[in-house]
Chains A and B, each alone.
Chain A
Amino acid sequence: MGRELPVEDPLIRMQRDLKRALQKNPKDIKWGMVIDIAKCIGCHACTIGCVAENKLPPGVVYRVVLEEETGQYPAVGRRFVPRPCLHCQNPPCTKACPVTATWKTEQGAVIVDYNRCIGCRYCLVACPYSARTSDFGEWYTAGTAELPGKLYGQKAAANGYESHPATEYGKKWPDRDHDSPVGNARKCHFCLHRLKVGMLPACTTSCIGRATIFGDRTDPKSLVFEMIGSPRVFRLKEELGTLPSVYYLR
């Protein structure tokens, strides 16, 4: 006993935190995420939410849920570690890019300019967390029979849903197979297009266990700030000195 149930859904508080952050000078915001491993049940809803939000094609994934087995039989356990891009404060990927197509914004999100990326994939090699994927131009509906007006076929399914571009970075990209982001390195961008309009990232809102906490990590009133102060906090591969903006709670 001794623990009280939360009086409000953490999502409500995060939404309030986000509203407050957006009223700040953008230069003073530093986005951060805390993932409570103890709360993650491995449902992969965040992965699916992210794929749907960003209309990710086959083989491109921004947020995966790692499944780790711990201990030795019979004292065995299993834990789930969601892994978005960790938005390192000292990112190896941005240093690798030869054409400055990827960089860290003032708010701390590491982003990619699809129109500048040459597709050399050096950033994929440089990322210690395998958080970047390359878009090889694949389709879920490739090879399916075309039947206009019905639910299947590359052009027909949901009125060519798959060919319509995502709204990543708040921009209108060309239809799929017509230039970027096909051929580009792609990665989690903390759903900047949602943040701009006051919405939390898709992975955060879709987390049924409320294991993902997002907000301005420099705001002392925010939930994410509070969580970063927990004695349970750790970051992945800290020894590399990449200083991720995504923290974990044991």
Chain B
Amino acid sequence: MFNEKNFRYIMILAVSGLIIGTWGMGARLIYGHKYMDYGSFVPWGLWVAFDLFFLGLTAGAYIVTILVYGFRVKLFAALGPLSVFALLVTLLCEGIIISLDLGHPLRIYRFFISPNFGSMLLWLVAFIVAMWAIYLPTFFLLLREQFIEWSQDGQRAGHKIYRFLAGGRTTYSEEDRGRDHRRVRILSYISMPIGLLFFGMHGAVFAILLNRPLWNGAMTPFLFIMAALLSGGALITFLAYLFHPRDDLVQPLGRVVLGLLATFLFLEALQFFVGYQSKVPNFVTSLNQIAFGPFWWAFWILHLLIGSAIPMYILITRPHDSRAVAWACFLVLITFFAVRLNYLIPDLAVYKLEGLQNTFFHQRLRTEYVPNINEWLVSIWVLSLGLLTFFLGMRWLPVEAAGKGEEEHV
């Protein structure tokens, strides 16, 4: 249930995060990667884990928009514009944090002028661009009617901006509405294969690496798709409760999240089973790192207890309590970052050649990695920016208004 008081708390939280995070951002922008703790043996750290986290969060919105605009499921229609907006904000956060992780972020134009079509990373970027290309126009088309309406309201603060966003149009006919929704539907159809490839490609970046036994395999892309659906589904359920607290909306979503959680845990258990049974030393070491390594608490306490067992218990025992369902999804959502971090680091944290640990002593050439304060501060900055963008957007953009009565249009 979202009210003015909650809004104020979130704004205080987001602005504080931005202020605190500025220190880390300053360190990153002035000194580059000099004061970050990842190295050459663990080249991807906290920011890549956040990148995975953000990319995954887009999946819930992806499914909702497909259900609403592709398959015309009226039940979730009110969530349509909200989902698209959430997807765009998470993509924005992802874009910022992964750009900061690059050694030369200003060279991202290289993706376009010297692409390597054999690289999974190139395809991931291509699908990220495709998601922007689909969802940005979708968002505009869904909100256009309200932009025009608000631009006509002279009393409304910033009505000139809405006039700009409306492209100077002053009227919006039934015919326009039909045409815009038709366009949204077409974009939604296009997004179906693109989105699946996007989430699959996400896993493929890791799956193709032969030297990484924990990641290498055909199951990884599928695991990533399931992980994305679970975390994204939890996000959308929680947002649905905040902005559209209807039992008929939140409770079915809660059941979907329960199913996704059970499936994800089953896949995770399979990965452990296969890994331990294969007895491949590097694989077993990586699994041991997850379960008994320095971040054991992230796996057992954050992921399995707070992020899985408790939400599962709540979703099973209180499926008709929307508030409980929303909180269960919130727990899944906030602890899912631990899943991403604990998936990324353990394989990197195993020396790939015997004796490498004794050969050249430098902190960048170690497999022990703990994110430092600067990395956390930058992450807090990006998270806060996302929070601020989302909640200010919900206030200043007609996202909620566009969701009202959407059942009739889909």
Chain A interface residues toward B at CB < 8 A: 47, 58-61, 64-68, 81, 83, 92, 95-101, 116-122, 124-130, 132-138, 180, 182-185, 236-237, 240-241
Q: B104 contacts which of A81, A118, A237 (Cβ < 8 Å)?
A: A118
Q: Is the CB of A125 within 8 A of B209?
A: yes
Given A100-B116, A125-B212, decide whether A130 and B41 contact each other with a Cβ distance below 8 A. Answer: yes
Q: For B31, what are the chain A residues with a Cβ–Cβ distance below 8 Å?
A: 137
Given contacts A121-B43, A184-B103, contact A130 B353 (CB under 8 A): yes
Q: Are B43 and A126 in contact (CB under 8 A)?
A: no
Which of B40, B108, B121 has the most C-beta atoms of chain A within 10 angstroms of its own C-beta?
B40
* CB-based contact A95/B118 at 8 Å: yes
Nearest residue, chain B, Cβ from A96:
B119
- The CA-CA distance from A243 to B322 in the complex, in Å, is 58
Judged by a CB distance under 8 angstroms, whether B356 is at the interface is yes
9 nearest CB pairs, A to B: A119-B103, A183-B103, A128-B211, A59-B364, A66-B355, A121-B43, A98-B122, A133-B40, A99-B110
A118:B107 contact, CB within 8 angstroms: yes
Q: How far is the CA of A231 from the CA of B110 in the complex (A)?
A: 45
Instruction: Label chain B's interface by main secondary structure.
Output: loop
Query: In the complex, what distance in Å separates the CA atom of A105 from the CA atom of B213?
Result: 29
**Is residue B210 within 8 Å, beta carbon to beta carbon, of the partner chain?**
yes
Task: Tell me, rounded to whole Å, the shortest Cβ–Cβ distance linking A114 to chain B.
Answer: 9
Residue B59 is within 8 A (CB to CB) of chain A in the complex: no
CA distance A150 to B114 in the complex (A): 46
Kindly state whether residue B362 has any CB partner on chain A within 8 Å: yes
Q: Smallest CB-CB separation from A58: which chain B residue?
A: B362
B46 CB to closest chain A CB (Å) equals: 14
A1 vs B356: C-alpha distance when bound (angstroms): 36
In the bound complex, residues from chain A placing their C-beta under 8 Å from that of B108 are: 118
Interface string of B31-70 (1 = CB under 8 A from A): 1111010011101100000000000000000000000000
Q: Tell yes or no: B9 within 8 A of A by CB.
A: no
Name the residue of chain B whose CB is nearest to the CB of A114. B104
Question: Residues of A contacting B118 with CB < 8 Å?
Answer: 95
Q: Considering residues B121, B362, B365, which has the most beta carbons from chain A within 10 angstroms of its beta carbon?
A: B121
User: For B107, what are the chain A residues with a Cβ–Cβ distance below 8 Å?
Assistant: 99, 116-119
User: Which A residues are CB-close (under 8 A) to B111?
Assistant: 98-99, 118
In the complex, which residues of chain B have a beta carbon less than 8 angstroms from the beta carbon of A66? 353-356, 358-359
**Residue among B39, B116, B351 with most chain A CB within 10 A:** B116
- Roughly how many angstroms separate A121 CA and B51 CA in the complex, as a whole number? 14
Q: Which B positions have Cβ atoms within 8 angstroms of A?
A: 31-34, 36, 39-41, 43-44, 101-105, 107-108, 110-111, 114-116, 118-122, 125, 205, 209-212, 348, 351-356, 358-360, 362-365
Are A59 and B363 closer than 8 Å at their CB atoms? yes
Is the Cβ of B352 less than 8 Å from the Cβ of A130?
yes
Residues of chain B within 8 A of A132, CB atoms compared: 40
Docked CA distance A136–B104 (Å): 11
Supply 15 A–B pairs (Cβ within 8 Å), ascending by A.
Answer: A65-B359, A67-B358, A68-B355, A98-B125, A118-B103, A120-B103, A121-B103, A128-B210, A129-B353, A137-B34, A182-B103, A183-B32, A183-B104, A184-B103, A185-B103
* Cα distance A95–B104 in the bound complex, in angstroms: 20
Which of chain A's residues has its CB closest to B31's CB?
Answer: A137
Q: How near does chain A come to B40, taking the closest CB pair, in angstroms?
A: 4
Determine the distance from Cα of A12 to Cα of B36 in the docked complex, in whole angstroms.
46
Which of B115, B352, B355, B356 gathers the greatest number of chain A CB atoms within 10 Å? B355
Q: Say whether A120 contacts B210, CB under 8 Å.
A: no
Indicate the member of B34, B36, B108 with the most A CB atoms within 10 Å: B34
Q: Give the residues in chain B near A121, CB-CB below 8 Å.
A: 43-44, 103
Asked if B110 and A240 sit within 8 Å, CB to CB, the answer is no
Q: State the CA gap A122–B118 with chains docked (Å).
A: 13
Q: How far is the CB of A54 from chain B (nearest CB, A)?
A: 14
A180 to B110 alpha-carbon distance, docked (Å): 15
CB distance from B297 to the nearest CB of A (A): 25
Residues of B within 8 A of A117 (CB): 103-104, 107
- Tell me whether A59 and B103 are in contact (CB under 8 A): no
- A59-B40, A67-B359, A136-B32 are contacts. A99–B102 as well, Cβ < 8 Å? no
Q: Which of B32, B210, B355 sits near A182, CB closer than 8 Å?
A: B32
Chain B residues near A118: list those with CB within 8 A: 102-105, 107-108, 110-111
